[in-house]
Chain A
């Protein structure tokens, strides 16, 4: 079965712009979580959506937002980009309960210049 698909793979944006990243989970998975990965901070949880509802949120500013559609696909948006937002953004899908673990996508590499 198809894995977790993230688009685009690479993005270059200018400070102050906004960006939208997309994630299509594994078929049948209703939970989508987003993580930011940077060399300095490692993997940090952004938020999780389950059945179109945000169930959990990490400690990121309000510029980071997300949503989930009825087909479980999810998008995350970052507004007013800052240089520090440059990172690998990872999407992970699961059946909905954390103990089963995630399947991660390959990520979107965002570079803010």
Chain B
């Protein structure tokens, strides 16, 4: 079965610092990858997604992620974080055997201090 690992459970940054959140997946076949964000008290929102093509994917709010097939990784990056980026971030991948069944990582809680 597919699995997703997020290595950083809690990250604390100051505003303007750069961000990189790690995500590794286990499946070696055709891969679709997602990053979702959950702001405090809000619902999960799609930040960006990778289907195929350019491994560097641009998302909303200045986020980007790079798909590195050889490392089974899909790390999320942002050059300069803001206080409003304080949220929980989830990496996800569709299960290898199921329709619309996403396997989520454990999540990374990001706190950005002014």
Of the listed stretches A65-73, A76-84, A99-107, name the one at the interface; the rest are far from the partner chain: A99-107
What separation, in Å, do the CA atoms of A105 and B45 have in the docked complex? Answer: 9
Q: How many residues of A contact B (CB 8 A)?
A: 27
Q: How many residues of B contact A (CB 8 A)?
A: 23
Does B100 reach chain A (CB closer than 8 Å)? yes
By a CB distance below 8 angstroms, the chain B residues around A103 are 46
By a CB distance below 8 angstroms, the chain A residues around B34 are 101
Interface string of B27-40 (1 = CB under 8 A from A): 00000101010000
Does B67 reach chain A (CB closer than 8 Å)? no
Closest to A41 in B: B106
Interchain CB contact under 8 A, B46 and A48: no
By a CB distance below 8 angstroms, the chain B residues around A104 are 36, 43-45
Does A61 reach chain B (CB closer than 8 Å)? no
Most buried by B among A31, A43, A45, A55: A43
Q: 11 new A-B pairs (CB below 8 Å) besides A45-B103, A102-B44, A102-B102?
A: A35-B104, A43-B90, A48-B101, A56-B95, A56-B99, A90-B43, A90-B44, A97-B100, A98-B102, A104-B36, A106-B43
